[in-house]
Amino acid sequence: MAYVGLSREEEQRMLRDIGVARFEDLVESVPADARLQRLLKTLGPASEIELRRMLGGWAASNVADRVPSFMGGGLYDHYVPAAVNAIAGRSEFATAYTPYQPEVAQGTLTVIFEFQSMIAELTGADVANASMYDGATSLAEAALLARSQTGRARVVIAGALHPHDLAVLRTYLDGKGVTVVADKGGQCAAEDLQSALGPDVACVIYQHPNFFGLLESPRTIHRIAHAAGALAVAVCDPIALALLDPPGAAAGDDPGADLVVGEAQPLGNTPSFGGPLLGYFACKAALVRRMPGRLAARAVDAQGRPGFVLTLQTREQHIRREKATSNICTNQGLLATRATIYLALLGRRGLAEVAELCVRKTHRCAELAAAIPGYRRAHEGAFFREFVLECPVDAAAVCAKGRGMGVLPGVDLGQFRPEWRRHLLVAATEQRSADDIARWADVLRAAGGAR
């Protein structure tokens, strides 16, 4: 490829061959109010020096890698070992495509198999796939699977689900058949969930830890969902699963969640400027035929030699429009590779240490905030890596003050609901030092607490 744009004559020849007079004829089906009615203003022509300077300036506007960040809400600033970048940056990984041909893709298939195995172990599920676009689309695919499996249409959200995940879910389901059971004190109330269920419910979805960082009661939710004939879908933080009971594992009279999905960005991937992200998807063995995305498995060839292949599903199964099992037809292979390297480097003990440090540092933040007049936790109950802090001023003002003092103090929840305008979602990972936490507390005092 020469990377040289088409000439005007070449464009006209292509349009003639297609059978239209101008490019605009190709997008007539797009509503007029969604189309740009003027030429797009672009920079150019520009030299490589000018372009690099411009793009570098844009990249420099992301200060999260240069100042202490207490932002969370789905993306977390965990330490990424140097070995992750060194190994994942190899050209074999960085340029690999979906491995349809096993004879030339054993390395990629091996990594995918290891990723699946580790996710299955973390979640307690029987099987995991080869990764999804992000946590939100993984959740939407789980809801579609539940609808297909049960023949039911309604999806029930139990408690505090991330608003972005809820928005993606509603988009996938055309805004229909989604019932939200509001939280009580930040957590799902069993009696409210019970009353929301019926014979039309395909699945019950809950987040654990939830959007507010609080721990839910998975076993109770599973029992209520299964008693109604619905599937239980858990949305889980993979770092938290190093300490929490795996939701997909059976315990006593609870067979566990039927599906466990979530965002795997914290595993060896930086938050960057909001992406790219990495969804994971795991389920019970009985649902494997309906699983979206790719599935790598260990097999043997005609000579009995072990190897890895994509199995159970063909590519064509994913490109049949409304007849497809799913229209997710690729995987975040490079990001899954990074997650696999990260998990292999840390192991069980290392991942648990990361999770324990998150708990200790986040609870230290909560203790310091409680000692500053005007600030208090918005919810009671156990929490993992983050908590909601009720502020004496708007959370947006706290965030603005923090930026001026070289600290990102958290996520302003007022952007999601006006009644949350004084709520700040605070997260602390193993990256935050004692000095970072002290500076964060200084921001609170300067923003509205006692000096």
Question: H/E element holding 260?
Answer: strand 259-263
The candidate with the shortest Cα–Cα distance to 439, out of 413, 412, 403, 415, is 403
CB count within 10 Å of CB 282 equals 30
Phi and psi angles of residue 43, each rounded to the nearest 5 degrees, phi first = -85, 135
CA angle 201, 204, 207 (to 5 degrees): 160
Task: Decide if pLDDT at 62 tops 70.
Answer: yes
Tell me if 370 sits within 8 A of 378, measured CB to CB: no
Angstrom distance (rounded) from CA 387 to CA 397 = 18
Confidence (pLDDT) at 175: 79
Residue 373 to residues 39, 206, 378: CA-CA distances in angstroms?
Answer: 54, 34, 14
User: What is the residue-averaged pLDDT of the chain?
Assistant: 92
Whether 268 contacts 341, CB under 8 Å: yes
pLDDT at 359: 98
Domain 348-447 has CATH 3.90.1150.10: yes
CATH class of 83-340: alpha beta
**Phi, psi for residue 317 in degrees, rounded to 5:** -65, -20
Question: What sections of 261-413 are H helices per DSSP?
Answer: 333-370, 395-404
Instruction: Note whether 316 and 310 are within 8 A (CB).
Output: no
- pLDDT confidence of residue 317: 66
DSSP summary character for residue 39: P
Q: Is residue 248 within 8 Å of 123, Cβ to Cβ?
A: yes
- The reported pTM is 0.90
Both structure tokens of 115 = 């990723």
* Amino acid (one-letter) located at 63: V
Query: From residue 210, how far is each of 161, 206, 286 by CA, in Å?
Result: 6, 8, 27
Distance of alpha carbon 300 from alpha carbon 320, whole angstroms: 30
Q: Give the C-alpha separation, 325 to 210, whole Å.
A: 29
Tell me phi and psi for residue 441, to 5 degrees: -65, -35
pLDDT (0 to 100) of residue 259: 98
Contact 342, 359 (CB under 8 A): no
Examine the pLDDT at 312 and tell me if it is beyond 70: yes
Helix (H) or strand (E) holding 14: helix 8-18
- Start-to-end CA distance of the chain, whole Å, equals 62
Q: Dump pLDDT digits (tens) for 222-271.
A: 999 999 999 999 999 999 999 999 999 999 889 999 999 999 999 999 99
Res. 315 pLDDT band, cuts 50 70 90:
low
Average pLDDT over residues 59-69: 88
Q: What's the half-sphere exposure (Cβ side, CA atoms, 13 Å) at 376? A: 5
Q: Is 45 helix (H, G, I), strand (E, B) or coil?
A: coil
SS3 329: coil
| Residue range 290-307: mean pLDDT, rounded | 90
Name the residue ranges covered by the structural domains of the chain: 83-340, 348-447
Q: Which amino acid is at 229?
A: G
The rounded distance, in Å, linking the Cα atoms of 441 and 138 is 36
Question: Residue 214: phi, psi to the nearest 5?
Answer: -85, 150
Query: Which region, left, alpha or beta, applies to residue 381 given φ > 0 means left and ψ of -120 to 50 means alpha?
Result: left
